[in-house]
Amino acid sequence: MTQADAFGTRATLTEGVVYHRLDALAERGVADVSRLPVTVKVLLENIVRHAGERFVREVDVEALARWDGTQVAHDRERAFMPARVLLQDFTGVPAVVDLAAMRAAVALGGGAPPRIDPLVPVDLVDEHSVQDAAYGEAQAY
């Protein structure tokens, strides 16, 4: 979790439990977010939490907070950075294979394969379709 608080939304619920108050955006004159659908509020809280980091600019937060539901913004991506991704074997195996293929291509091109790495932690539940030949060691990665 970032320590930055670009919009002054960071609050503590109890010791060790930090969240970002979306109503603080209205208090600071950014936008009244009470009118937003819950799904948009979830996305907004996520980008507020990451504002000022690599993929989320303050203008991204402001644009989503001011969204009125009538216009579709095709000119920008919406960052979403979940804390963790959970994939079942039939969806996760292709993702792992894609990562392995990208790393192999980077290596063939003379690059550094470790640069190909997910941005968020990923848990893969593998029941039977992946065989774990190595685990818990550097070579397994």
Q: For position 10, what pLDDT does the model report?
A: 92
Element (H, E) at 41: helix 38-49
Token readout for 67 is 């969204």
Over pLDDT 90: what percentage of the chain?
Answer: 30
pTM, to two decimals: 0.63
Greatest mean pLDDT among 61-75, 104-118, 125-139 = 104-118
pLDDT at 108 over 90: yes
For the ranges 21-25, 27-31, 86-90, the lowest mean pLDDT is seen at 86-90
Nearest to 66 by CA among 46, 84, 40: 40
Q: What is the pLDDT of residues 71-100, one digit of tens each?
A: 766 667 778 887 777 777 777 888 888 989
Are β-strands 122-125 and 85-88 bridged in parallel, bridged antiparallel, or unpaired?
A: parallel
